[in-house]
Structure 1
């Protein structure tokens, strides 16, 4: 409790500008402090549980290729084409996570001898 009061002293609320209505904006450090206090248990979970990633960049990387495809061609031509594209990207992503050769895995998939079962 004492730490929270000390943090509040170091990061005071921003005063409301004259003539402005509504809630005053907080500073970025104050917003970060509030978020860390609110999510105290989940912030450092990755230190105790090795299965929890440090960040969520992997999820962002997974969807990036789809967004690039949409930007380059404007869109995918059909729903079926989008499904096929996602299925291939998912397969490649899984192979990479298993530390296997992408080329070998694709070749085996075309020969109907899949590496992943």
Structure 2
């Protein structure tokens, strides 16, 4: 992204945060120990302002993806499985689940038909993922 466009977007971003902070002011000190409780909107605005460089890293570093959804998705299913089932019964079962999930995630990222890949795997001919 050209520097002039990035500067424009960062300026607009700062303006939007300022507007949000005006509409969601920080709670004043309550006189009790510790920090006063803030609203969810105020906490979000504070994080967006504090981590501006991280939020906009995709615009300065071409190697950084726009979102981290793939990384989150890789962890999400095992956490759901753990919550729904109350956990894995054995370490061996957890390891098997992670291996299968990792393989299917890789095949999905490479555009393979997962159902077809599973059929071939059960027939003893698992398709191999392409190496980078």
| TM-score, length-scaled by structure 1 | 0.67
Counterpart check, 1:99 vs 2:111: yes
Q: Secondary structure at the match of 2:32?
A: coil
Q: Distance in 1 between matches of 2:118 and 2:75?
A: 20
Q: Distance in 2 between matches of 1:115 and 1:56?
A: 25
| TM-score, length-scaled by structure 2 | 0.62
Gaps of 5+ in 1: none
Task: Give the greater-gyration-radius structure (CA).
Answer: 1
Task: Report the equivalent of 1:108.
Answer: 120
Gaps of 5+ in 2: 1-13
Bigger relative contact order, structure 1 or 2 (CA pairs below 8 A, ≥6 apart): 2
Q: How does 1:1-117 map to 2 (within 5 A)?
A: 7=18, 10=22, 13-17=26-30, 20-110=32-122, 111-116=124-129
